[in-house]
């Protein structure tokens, strides 16, 4: 079973992704984590990505697609399944994902939207800034990340609805309740 998780910044994708991957033995592919790792390593890619991430914008499709191609090919080679977290983030990336998967002869079973309204997101992110210290969690950068989400990522809702892959989850509430909603979706796939 291969799935993707998407939703606005602060929806709890990372937290839920870890729980689902553990329960269903999926490889967790988080493009945000991969980029943050590159930044920590001080690689050339990390240096380029840092400026963009800190401004709340998206890094280029070329960079992201190279990362995804390598990871998915590796996962397929190991006969594993995956959960994508933070990718795709635009219609263009979704189309690129479809072609990569077609080439690798693997299919996507569901696109799960963790839905949270804006005022809740703002509070959560401010809290996360205090606990995790992510630089892109500041209020100024958040405004730009939210705009990017609504302009570029939210159109994926219709995209995956049209493909009959969209599953909707209410992302407001206890972590365990949200996890339960996702588990039951997974069990029905
Ligand atoms: P995340 O941890 O998923 O919130 O990602 C943190 C930041 O990494 C984003 O605000 C983007 O700058 C960058 N990023 C992560 N995934 C992608 C992607 N699929 N496309 C472009 N930029 C991304």
Residue 150's alpha-carbon distances to 7, 9, 144, 157, in angstroms, are 10, 10, 10, 11
Q: Decide: 156 and 88 in contact? Cβ < 8 Å.
A: yes
pLDDT value for 41: 97
Please list the helix, strand and coil fractions of the chain in percent, rounded to the nearest 5, in that order: 65, 10, 25
CATH among 3.30.70.260, 3.40.50.300, 3.20.20.70, 1.10.10.10 for 3-188: 3.40.50.300
Q: At what angle do helices 44-55 and 139-148 cross, to 10 degrees?
A: 90
Rounded distance between C-alpha atoms, residue 98 and residue 118, angstroms: 29
What residue segments make up the domains of the chain, in order of their start? 3-188
Active site (catalytic) residues? 13, 89, 128, 134, 145
Establish whether the linkage from the previous residue to 88 is cis, with ω within 30° of 0.
Answer: yes
pTM of the complete model: 0.95
Q: Could you tell me the mean pLDDT of each successive run of 10 residues in the chain, 189 residues long?
A: 96 96 98 96 96 95 96 98 98 98 98 94 84 82 93 98 98 96 97
pLDDT value for 48: 94
Ligand 1 atom with the smallest distance to the CA of 30 is: 3
The best mutation among 4, 31, 71, 124 to test binding of ligand 1, ranked by most ligand atoms within 8 Å of the C-beta, falls on 31
Place of tokens 């990336």: 93
Rounded distance between C-alpha atoms, residue 134 and residue 107, angstroms: 33
pLDDT value for 29: 98
DSSP state of 151: I
Ligand 1 atom with the smallest distance to the CA of 60 is: 21
The structure tokens listed for 70 are: 């390598």
């Amino acid at each position: 079973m291969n799935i993707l998780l998407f939703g606005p910044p602060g929806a709890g994708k990372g937290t839920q992704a870890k729980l689902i991957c553990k329960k269903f033995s999926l490889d967790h592919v988080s493009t945000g984590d991969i980029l943050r790792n590159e930044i920590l390593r001080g690689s050339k890619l990390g240096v380029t990505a840092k400026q963009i991430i800190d401004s709340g914008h998206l890094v280029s499709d070329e960079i992201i697609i190279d990362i995804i191609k390598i990871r998915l090919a590796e996962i397929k080679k190991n006969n594993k399944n995956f959960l994508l977290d933070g990718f795709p983030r635009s219609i263009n990336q979704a189309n690129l994902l479809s072609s990569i998967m077609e080439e690798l002869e693997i299919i996507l079973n569901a696109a799960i939207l963790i839905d949270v309204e804006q005022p809740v997101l703002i509070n959560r992110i401010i809290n996360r800034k205090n606990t995790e210290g992510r630089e892109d969690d500041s209020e100024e950068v958040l405004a730009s990340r939210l705009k990017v989400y609504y302009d570029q990522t939210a159109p994926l809702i219709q995209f995956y609805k049209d493909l009959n892959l969209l599953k909707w989850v209410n992302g407001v509430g206890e972590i365990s309740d949200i996890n339960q909603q996702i588990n039951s979706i997974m069990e029905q796939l």
